[in-house]
A and B are shown apart, each in its own frame.
Chain A
Amino acid sequence: MAKSHKPVVWFPFAAGGTVIAFCIPVIVVLTFLAALGHVPAGLSYEKMHAFAASGLGKLIIFGVVSLSLWSSAHRLRCTCYDFGLRADTLAATILYVAAITGSLAAAVFLLRI
C-alpha cells in the first residue's frame, strides 16, 4: 500500500488546532462582550482598522482565520465519518473547498483594508 498524503491536510490541522486552543477562546470573549453591548475599546473601527492595516496584523488575522478554518474543516470531515457518513471523498472535497474559500475571502478582505 502506498504511503498516504494525509500529512498535507494533517499538518495544517494540527497547527490550526493549536491556534484554536490558544487564540479562539479569547477572541470569542471579545465579540461576546460586544454581543452583550460592552464593546471593548480595542474593537472600535479605528483600532481594528489600524491593526488589520499593519502587515503583522494582516498576517496574524489571516493565520488565525485560515488555520482555524482548515482545522475545523478537517475535523468535521473525520466527524462525518464517525457519524456514519461513508462518502469521505465527497465530504473532504466540500469541506476543504469551503475552508479554502473562506481563507481566500479573508485574504481578499484583508488586502482591501
Chain B
Amino acid sequence: MSRNPLVREVPPTSWFFRHPRYMRYMAREITCIFIGAYCVLLVVGLQRLAAGPAAWEGFLLGLRSADSIVFHLLALVAAFYHAATWFNATQKAMPLQIGEDFVPGNLISGAHYAVWVVLSLVVLFLAGVF
C-alpha cells in the first residue's frame, strides 16, 4: 500500500464564506462596484454640465429620487469602507523607518485620516456647505 494524498479542492465560488476575514476582504473588494457606478454617474454629470445650465439643473433634479438616495447611501458606505481599509493598509505598503525604529503603523494611518478629514472639510467649505 502506499501514498494517496488527499487533495481538498477550494470551492471557487464559495470559499469566502469559510471565514469572517474573507468576508471582510470581499466586502472591501466589492466597494469597487459602487465606486465604479458612482464614477459613471460623475461622467454623466460632466456630460450634463457640458450641455448647458438647463441640462445641469435637470441632472441635479434627477438625483432627487428614492433610488438615487439609496444608491448614494450605498456608495457612501463603500467609499468610507474603502478609505478606511486603504489608510490602514498604507503603513504596510510603505513602512517608514527612522533610524533603527519603524514609525508605528497607527501613526502613519492616523496621519492619513487627519489629512483626509482636513481635505474633506476644505472641499465641503469650498462647495459652500458651510
Contact = CB atoms under 8 A, between A and B. Distances in A.
A92 interface: no
Contact of B46 (A27, A65, A84): A65
Interface in A41-55: 41-43, 45, 47-49, 52
Given A34-B60, A69-B36, A72-B33, A26 B124 contact: yes
B111 interface: no
B33 A25 contact: no
Interface string A19-53: 01111111111111111110111110101110010
Contacts of A18: 86
Contact of B86 (A17, A32, A36, A40): A17
Given A75-B29, A76-B32, A32 B60 contact: no
A72 B36 contact: yes
A2 to B, nearest CB: 25
Interface residues of B, number: 52
B127 interface: yes
A52 B49 contact: yes
Interface residues of A, number: 53
A102 interface: yes
Given A79-B32, A102-B40, A113-B49, A20 B72 contact: no
Contact of B82 (A21, A34, A110): A21
A29 B64 contact: no
A33 B80 contact: no
Contact of B75 (A17, A28, A82, A83): A28
A112 interface: yes
B126 A27 contact: no
A28 B47 contact: no
B120 A68 contact: no
Contacts of A36: 64, 69
Interface in B70-108: 72-73, 75-76, 79-80, 82-83, 86-87
Nearest to A113: B50
A100 interface: no
